[in-house]
Structure formats: structure tokens, C-alpha cells
């Protein structure tokens, strides 16, 4: 794919049918200067959105765990866990989307040497802190996956395994 502005070849995952003007990422970012909305504001918005969706995800998860264990059903207990896993999977989709957008925004900010996010990270490194675990990925991918799998496995254990009564 060729950028219409700088003629540089760039990779496009999927062709955009609606967008006739095709620009590379550098040219797209240059347009930002003329807009009123800054990356820092977008970061704030997406951080709130991301945190809100993550918190909501955990609330739904804990509700289903409580509903699954603290009930007096003698049969069909597994249905609660299966339904919980399915509903959590649906809640995961908007969370994952916010995760991907927030990650992109942070990566862009971390590449701007004059931005506070970049400076703070470098100062952190200078103090000897190293981020071994990507916290943002933990919240957007690993924790949701563990929660969904937990509910699903609990459902299986009740249906076929040792928890069957
Ligand atoms: Zn370009």
C-alpha cells in the first residue's frame, strides 16, 4: 500500500473500502497537530474507559462465582457457570477493544521524547525498576482469560467431574 501523501510504502492489514485517502501512520500522526484533540486527552479518555470496562468485568465475574457456589440447586448447577463464562466472553470483547486502543496510544506516547509518559518511564528505568510484566496486557488479556476459563472449568467439573452430585 502506498501513502497518498509521502508515497512511502506501508503495511495495511485490511483494505479500507470507505476511506479513499490512504495515509501511512506517520502522516496520520502529523494531522494531529491541526486537530484540537491531543493524544494526552485521548489517553485519559481511554484509560478511564479501559478501567471502567475492566472493573465491570470483575463485577460480573464475582457475581457469577457467588451465584454458582452460593445456591441451593441440586441439579443444573453447571448451567450458571456455563452461562457466566459465555456472558464474560461477551464482556471481554469491548474490554479487549479498549485494551488495544489504549495500548496503541501508550506506545505512541512512549515514543515521544518530550512527553511526560516517556520521561517518567525513563526515570523509572534510571531508578532500576524494570517492568517484567506488562500490566496493561495482564488486565486486558490474562486476567479476563483466567476468569472465563475458571467459570468454564467449574462448569465442566460439575457436569462430568468430581464435583458432580
Ligand atoms: Zn505518509
DSSP code string of 27-58: HHHHGGGGSS--HHHHHHHHHHHHHHHHHHHH
What gap in Å lies between CA 47 and CA 99, rounded to an integer?
9
Beta carbons of 111 and 119 less than 8 angstroms apart: no
Query: Ligand 1 centre from 28 Cα, in Å?
Result: 7
Query: Per-residue confidence of the chain (165 residues) as pLDDT tens digits?
Result: 788 888 888 777 666 555 566 788 888 887 776 667 788 888 999 999 999 999 999 999 999 999 988 888 777 888 999 999 999 999 999 999 999 999 999 888 888 888 888 888 888 888 888 777 788 899 999 999 999 999 999 999 998 887 776
Tell me, in angstroms, the distance from the centre of ligand 1 to residue 3's CA: 5
Ligand 1 centroid–CA 31 distance in Å is 11
Please state the pTM of the whole predicted model.
0.79
Amino acid at each position: 500500500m502506498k501513502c497518498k501523501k509521502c508515497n512511502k510504502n506501508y503495511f495495511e492489514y485490511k483494505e479500507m473500502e470507505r476511506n479513499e485517502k490512504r495515509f501511512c501512520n506517520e502522516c496520520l500522526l502529523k494531522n494531529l497537530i491541526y486537530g484540537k484533540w491531543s493524544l494526552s486527552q485521548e489517553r485519559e479518555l481511554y484509560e478511564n474507559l479501559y478501567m471502567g470496562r475492566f472493573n465491570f468485568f470483575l463485577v460480573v465475574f464475582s457475581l457469577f462465582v457467588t451465584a454458582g457456589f452460593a445456591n441451593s440447586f441440586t441439579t443444573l448447577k453447571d448451567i450458571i457457570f456455563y452461562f457466566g463464562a459465555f456472558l464474560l466472553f461477551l464482556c471481554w470483547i469491548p474490554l479487549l477493544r479498549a485494551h488495544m486502543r489504549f495500548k496503541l496510544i501508550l506506545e505512541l506516547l512512549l515514543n515521544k521524547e518530550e512527553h511526560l509518559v516517556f520521561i517518567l518511564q525513563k526515570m523509572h528505568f534510571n531508578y532500576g525498576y524494570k517492568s517484567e510484566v506488562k500490566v496493561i496486557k495482564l488486565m486486558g488479556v490474562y486476567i479476563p482469560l483466567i476468569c472465563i476459563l475458571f467459570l468454564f472449568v467449574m462448569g465442566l467439573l460439575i457436569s462430568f467431574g468430581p464435583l458432580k452430585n
